[in-house]
Structure 1
Amino acid sequence: MSSTLRFVIAILIVAFYTLPLMLVQELALRTRLLSDRIVPRLWHRLTLGVLGVRVRMEGRPSTQRPQMIVANHVSWLDILVLGSLDGVHFIAKSEMRGWPILGTFARQQRSVFVERERRRTSPEQAREIAERLADGDPMVLFAEGTTGDGNRLLPFKSTLFSAAQLALASDRAESVTVQPVAITYLSKGGLRLDRRERAALSWIGDTDLLPNLVTVLQARPVDIVVRYGDPIPFLAKGDRKTVTREAEAQVRAMLTAGLRGTEI
């Protein structure tokens, strides 16, 4: 089957179930008759199936709230991958708000959109994230601030970790649980990826979304491993830079072990 035909079929299938699910999600948001986390998780799982992406989870996700999930970032696929495993909400770049389909679902999933390049807006953005954490919403932060090539970890930025401290100002919790998570792109077509192939699947910088989607479809099945690290309690008097370094060290160790096929 040609890549063009495979792409068209995938888009048609996703379109077939997306509109009805969006309507159900809108109903959930407006009426609270059902949890607004159910439909996004279902959509993510269905779409991963259409794309031929298989996800394996390792480790134990924390059930403690408030919770900030801190992960590395390789591709737009990371959102579908983490969203398929649990009812989470994302801290996303502001540009994503205008994306077709993904942007709409990001809004309906109650993502917080941030402008990382505008440092003056960081305190306001941190307060919005803090409110969501204090309300019990598990928030996903891609702490590198951008996407990498999947072969190495970029330094974590500590700015938005301040949201964890702000969430404790309401006195509704004694600490925020920071859960490190490593996303490893492991194989395609049943064969382990090398560095070049892994980088080709990543979505870096200003790369257009559609060509990357075609690359993913051509590589199917793609196997991705999500490994959960040890939860880190962030106390009201904790230091965000210390917590950032600890989370970064865990994610780097898990990513390295996943790429090498070893245990940690």
Structure 2
Amino acid sequence: MNPAAAPGRAVHGPWDVWSGCTPDCATHALPRVPAAEIARRTAAFARRVGRALTDGERLADPVRLRAHARGLLDALGIRVEGAAALTAGGGPGTLIVVNHISWLDIPALLAVEPVTLLAKREVGGWPVVGGLARRAGTYFIDRTNPRQLPHAIAELTGLLASGRSVAVFPQATTWCTTDQGTFRRATFQAALDAGAPVRPVTLGYTQGGRPSTVAAFCGEDTFAASLRRVLAARALAIRVTAHPAPAGEGLDRRGLAALAERAVLGGRVPAREGAPAVPAQVSTPAVPSPRRHPEPAARHHV
């Protein structure tokens, strides 16, 4: 195998990685809803997007942002479960580290607690999602240029030190289930430099209580195709599980990332090159992985 094409390896920069997941991974766990329900959801979603865009810069207001995020999910027939506070009160902001499955991860987080999002620069140009992300105050970074990494970490440190909580996706790309990928460590250095707490969060997708990959936004998938699947998904729910902050004296960014990764990815740390997998210390069940195929670079690393 070409080393540059190996799943999870860096491609263009320190945060730009390949994923082994493709659009074929995204499948319905239950029969689709009727066409009339799809039409109703489509109209409701369009209205909600229009209202959010009309709000302009006011969308960044936490109260408005949370209401719009909840409204978008409600229009799609999606329920958010298990929500709890994501941030620690007082002092520096919280670095919220989350697994990445779908574009729906973003409204799911914002529906629980409005925070600053860290996203790649290209997201700002995406249809629908890009406009909403810009107006919501998302902080965009250039992941293709390694020379920008120290500057980006310094700015993230400043955000956390100022008291702003920031949600990041350390896997750097999307995967179809909660037990894949590895965490990039750079953003954890910002938490250490700012003295900020780290909150590991797992996002899991189900349909009628069954694990589902229908919301996965992977590989060469398009937003339109993903939206069509979501509009047709029956009983889709997003479970937001906030884990305790990683504990340990004198942790460096490597150790901090490993503990957070273990918590977020269902109690399993995927083996890195030259190292065995770390035994699980938590009991969150992992969702079985559907078949995957080698694929060109995943484009959807938010």
- Using structure 1 for the length normalisation, give the TM-score: 0.80
Larger strand share, 1 or 2: 1
1:159 corresponds to which residue?
A: 186
1:38 Cα shift?
Answer: 1.7
Question: Which residue matches 2:56?
Answer: 22
Residue in 2 that maps onto 1:104: 131
Distance 1:133 1:218 in 2: 39
CA distance in 2, matches of 1:15, 1:59: 25
In structure 2, the partner of 1:170 is none
So what's the TM-score if we normalise by structure 2? 0.71
Amino acid at match of 2:67: L
Within-5 A mapping of 1:56-135:
56-57=81-82, 61-64=86-89, 65-135=92-162
* Cα separation, 2, equivalents of 1:258 and 1:52: 25
Structure 1 position 108, deviation (Å): 2.2
- Residues 221-245 of structure 1 show CA distances to partners (whole Å, capped at 9, x for unaligned) of 311111111113698x641111000
Q: What are the superposed Cα offsets for residues 26-63 of structure 1, whole Å, 9 maximum, x if unpaired?
A: xxx6xxxxxx2222111100000001110112565342
1:174-213 alignment, distance < 5 Å: 175-187=195-207, 190=208, 192-193=210-211, 198-213=212-227
Cα 1:109–1:102 shift into 2, 3 Å:
same
Deviations 1:127-177 (A, max 9, x none): 11111111111100111010001242311010222222333xxxxxxx210
Residue identity opposite 1:137 in structure 2: R
Higher relative contact order (CA 8 A, sep 6+): 2
Give me the whole-angstrom Cα distance separating, in 1, the residues matched to 2:57 and 2:198: 33
Q: Identify the match of residue 139 of structure 1 among 159, 166, 173.
A: 166
Change in Cα spacing, 1:249 to 1:75, as seen in structure 2 (3 Å) is same
Alignment CA distance shift 1:105-1:86 (3 Å): same
* C-alpha distance 23-118 of structure 1, shift in aligned 2 (>3 A): closer
User: Structure 1: how far apart are the matches of 2:267 and 2:87?
Assistant: 17
Distance 2:252 2:224 in 1: 41
Q: Which amino acid aligns with 2:203?
A: I
Look up the match of 2:69.
Answer: 44
What RMSD over aligned residues (CA atoms) do the two structures have, in Å? 2.5
Deviation at 1:191? 5.0
Mark the CA change 1:46 to 1:90 in structure 2 (over 3 Å): closer, same or farther. same
Note if 1:53 corresponds to 2:66: no
Fraction of identical pairs, as percent: 28
**Structure 1: tracts of 5 or more residues without a match:** 30-35, 168-174
Q: In 2, Cα distance between the equivalents of 1:118 and 1:206?
A: 22
